[in-house]
Structure 1
Amino acid sequence: MKDIKLNPDLRINKVKIPGTSLYVVIVDEFLLDTSSVMNFAHNIAYFNPMFSDNSFYPGIRDNMPLPYMRLLKSFFEDRIITKNNSQNDTVSSFHKCLLSLTTCQPSQLTTEQKLPHIDSFDERDYAFVHYLSGEELGGTSLYRYKPENLIQFTEEYQPILAKMFTDIKNSPEDHEGYITSSTSVFEQVLKIDAKFNRLVIYQGNLLHSANLISKESYNNDPKTGRLSIASFASIK
């Protein structure tokens, strides 16, 4: 994967998140050539079982090779952080880049997998989703927790997560499987469509969930299933 390169003609757009002053960054045609990434995904990756990465991700994962992480880090620092920060010495620390394939059937989901989630309470933490499949398999949505009118969670709101969990259990008819739209507990405030070779960047303390809209969205074949790369980083 040494030849992996940014597309010089990639397109960067910022989409405002309703109800906040925050934005999601959408990068289309991120990589110049995806063949090495797809070869790794289809022929080399060793997918580990669900929960092996200590997350509730509803599928199987493997670590991406370091050249991918280095490229993403360089892009984030040079093209995203510097445009949003007046300081030129801001650096990022990448924790994980995980090739991810959703495989869990709706009937097998735990309660934790049926509700939107956050990755962190720190607004300096960021999540990245690089889609390696098309719109038909589902993108990502951001949500508002209606009872507390919350989209972004900081440390002070940690106790509310337990209340969210209870609300889900008390409204099972509204949360039988994957969340893909507004419910009695959550309002879908922004829906981001998947697109092959599209990279999406947002703060990790925003309430979000994958939008698994098709039966093929939880297919265990990386050549036809919902394949993406999930990455996590912090800025200093």
Structure 2
Amino acid sequence: MTTDNFLPPLHANFRYRIDHVGNEKRPVLVVDNFLHQAEALVGFAVKYGQFRPGVDFYPGIQSKVPEFYAAALATHLRDIISDCFNLSPEQIEYSQSIYSMVMTPPEHLSVPQARPHVDSIKSTKLAAVHYLCTPDKGGTSLYRHKATGFERLDETRMPLYSDFLAKEEQDPVWQKRYICGTNDYYEEIAYYEANFNRLIIYSGDVLHSASIAPNFNFTANPLAGRLTLTSFIYCK
């Protein structure tokens, strides 16, 4: 798994399902047992990882992934993704992936890092999380904003949503803690556990957050920390 031209096969027990979450019934693709010998992806991160501070508000460190990973997504999942998100296979253009590890202590969080967020306000950008860690490292939750009822955001919803954010961010509830389940402002509408070699894909416009418990163990060791392989999949 360390050569760029190698395409790992699917796991022998590969399986998937499509959930429709919340009042808006947004699709989430849940793949269990994605790749054969996924442990080698952890080994790659240990041996070749060059982790640096994350970008775009990511609360941790990130590193490049092997070149073959994009091909694995495209080869193994293109038709399933198309079915899940009502696309034609030709609409899926390309993907970008990166290793990610949550490392920012709660006391150093900014408000945007502490609350649920979207990756895009356009449904043509899909987000994927491939868990290379165990369930105790925390999974991913999808949310509904209580005041507006929004479970996803677009250009028409942003003005109203932004008005509420400006007021709500003054609440000390956002200080020194990661969101982990329902709070005063957001209702958790789905939770996906970080099972090893599980991959979830959802539209980038849905409100979501990593679920980080108060007793989370922050470590930069890929063998022991919250190692994920996060991807963005771009569609026409």
Same fold (TM over 0.5): yes
1:37-63 Cα distance to aligned partner (Å, 9 max, x none):
11111121100123xx3x111000012
Please name the residue that 1:45 is paired with: 49
Equivalent residues of 1:140, 1:191 under 8 A apart:
yes
Matches within 5 A, 1:113-124: 113-124=113-124
**Structure 1 residue 198: Cα displacement:** 0.1
Please name the residue that 1:199 is paired with: 199
Going by fraction, where is helix more abundant, 1 or 2? 1
Q: Structure 1 residues 228, 82: closer, same or farther in 2, change over 3 A?
A: same
Aligned AA (2:80):
R
Q: Does 1:65 align with 2:85?
A: no
Equivalent residues of 2:109, 2:175 under 8 A apart:
no
Aligned AA (1:18):
G
RMSD: 1.9
**Structure 1 residue 233: Cα displacement:** 1.1
Q: Which stretch shows the higher mean deviation, 24-33 or 36-45?
A: 36-45
**Structure 1 residue 3: Cα displacement:** 4.8
Q: Structure 1 residues 174, 57: closer, same or farther in 2, change over 3 A?
A: closer
Q: Which runs of 5+ in 2 are unaligned?
A: none
3-state SS of the aligned residue for 1:79? Answer: helix
Q: Which stretch shows the higher mean deviation, 1-10 or 158-167?
A: 158-167
**Structure 1 residue 179: Cα displacement:** 0.2
Please name the residue that 2:226 is paired with: 226
**Structure 1 residue 8: Cα displacement:** 4.3
Aligned AA (1:91):
I
Equivalent residues of 1:178, 1:212 under 8 A apart:
yes
Please name the residue that 1:105 is paired with: 105
Q: Which runs of 5+ in 1 are unaligned?
A: none
Q: Does 1:138 align with 2:150?
A: no
Q: Does 1:12 align with 2:13?
A: no
Equivalent residues of 1:167, 1:185 under 8 A apart:
no
Which of 30, 40, 43 is the aligned partner of 1:36?
40
Query: Aligned pairs, how many?
Result: 232
Equivalent residues of 2:82, 2:88 under 8 A apart:
no
3-state SS of the aligned residue for 1:70? Answer: helix
TM-score by length of 1: 0.90
TM-score by length of 2: 0.90
Q: State the identity as a percent.
A: 30
1:135-160 Cα distance to aligned partner (Å, 9 max, x none):
11100000111111100111222234
